[in-house]
Amino acid sequence: MISLSAVQKSYSSDVAIGPVDLKIPTGGITAMVGPNGAGKSTLLTMIGRLLGLDAGAIEIAGYDVASTASKDLAKIVSILRQENHFVTRLTVRQLVGFGRFPHSKGRLTRDDEEIISRSIDFLNLNELENRYLDQLSGGQRQRAYVAMVLAQETDHVLLDEPLNNLDMKHSAQMMQLLHKAARELGRTIVIVLHDINFAGHYADHICAVKDGKVIEFGTPAEIMTDEVLSRVFDTPVTVIDGPRGPLAVYY
């Protein structure tokens, strides 16, 4: 479980996040949605200790994020940002291998290699494992980074807009894989999503963020309504019954 209590972060007098109180339950996918600049990514990076808090506290599985040593947190929570610094002459497999760093400090054991193989296979990258990152398409590279955080074998996985730059096919594949990771590998996945329909279909919980505050938290059935979505996104939204569940129409 991830719990935030009175979390605050201020940038200037009129741009501020919080205070946010939130409990993200263990298991499944929790999607964070909201308009641009609402603070979804900021909240996620604060949970993942990439950004410090100005006030309040965040606990992951009972460990306080601010006071627990970074190397211990790395075994509990992993976070992937949208943009990643891009190292040349690094193969997919070597990148995924970095996911084992918190456990093996760079000296990969036989068990580590097996976990790396499993993560690579899980994301269907086994054909590409010896390719260099600069020889991959954007979508393949994105999958390689996700494989790295999965290889970290943390109970909690935080992903900041992993569907960015992915086309229809790869977005759907990525969400299916994350869904599978949550079900079969028992991970708690928190994900920032732009497309409300992806959230409605794949997430177990949706957390709606607006103006730096969490204004709604519930199951997709509770959030996917005309009234709630129109309020969250500040634009008229109609939810219709699609062939595979509710579908938000906003154009």
Partner 1 sequence: MPESNTIKSAPRTTPALASRHHLGRVSGPLPTGRVRRRYWIVLSILIILALGFAGGLLAYDNPMPPGTPGFWLIAQMRSVNVLVMLLVAFCQAMATVSFQTATNNRIITPSIMGFESLYIAVQTGAVFFLGAAGVTAIQGVPQFALQLVLMVGLSMALYGWLLSGKNGNLQIMLLVGIVLGGGLGAVSSFMQRLLTPSEFDVLTARLFGSISNADVSYLPVAIPLAAVAGTLLWLNAKRLNVIALGKDASTNLGLNHRFETMRVLFLVSILMAVSTALVGPMTFLGFLVATLAYQLADTHDHLYVFPVAILVGFVVLSGAYFVMKNVFYAQGVVSIIIEAVGGTVFLIFILRKGRL
Can residue 12 be called a binding residue for partner 1 (CB under 8 A)? no
* Contacting residues for 166 by C-beta, under 8 A, at least 6 apart: 138, 139, 142, 174
**Residue 64 vs 72, nearer CB to partner 1:** 72
Out of 57, 74, 215, 247, the residue judged to bind partner 1 by CB under 8 A: 74
**Nearest to partner 1 of 98, 234 (CB atom):** 98
Of the pair 25, 251, the CB lying nearest partner 1 is at: 25
Nearer to partner 1, 13 or 251 (CB): 13
CB of 235 to partner 1, least distance (A): 26
Contact at 8 Å (CB) between 151 and 100?
Answer: yes
Tokens describing residue 51: 């950004």
The string of DSSP codes covering the chain is: -EEEEEEEEESSSS-EEEEEEEEEPSSEEEEEE-STTSSHHHHHHHHTTSS--SEEEEEETTEETTTS-HHHHTTTEEEE-SS----TT-BHHHHHHHTTHHHHTT---HHHHHHHHHHHHHTT-GGGTTSBGGGS-HHHHHHHHHHHHHHTT-SEEEEE-TTTT--HHHHHHHHHHHHHHHHHS--EEEEE-S-HHHHHHH-SEEEEEETTEEEEEE-HHHH-SHHHHHHHHTS--EEEEETTEEEEE--
Closest CA to 170 of 206, 128, 123: 123
For residue 40, report the phi and psi dihedrals to the nearest 5 degrees.
Answer: -60, -50
Per-residue mark of binding to partner 1, 123-162 (x: CB under 8 A) = ---x--xx---x--------------x--xx-x-------
| 97 contacts partner 1 (rule: CB under 8 A) | yes
Is 164 a binding residue for partner 1 by CB under 8 A? The answer is no
Task: Work out whether 62 is an interface residue with partner 1 (CB under 8 A).
Answer: no
Length of the chain: 251
* Near partner 1 by CB under 8 A: residue from 85, 234, 240, 243: 85
Write down the least CB distance from residue 168 to partner 1, Å.
Answer: 27
Site for partner 1 in 179-238 (CB under 8 A): 182-186, 188, 204-205, 217-219
Among 67, 89, 168, 251, binds partner 1 (CB under 8 A): 89
Is 101 one of the binding residues for partner 1 (CB under 8 A)? yes
Q: Looking at residues 18 to 57 of the shown chain, list those that interact with partner 1 (rule: CB under 8 A).
A: 22-23, 25-28, 45, 48-50
Residue in 32, 79, 224, 248 binding partner 1, rule: CB under 8 A: 79
Residues that bind partner 1 (CB under 8 A): 1, 22-23, 25-28, 45, 48-50, 70-75, 78-81, 84-85, 87-91, 93-94, 96-99, 101-102, 105-108, 113-118, 121-122, 126, 129-130, 134, 149, 152-153, 155, 182-186, 188, 204-205, 217-219
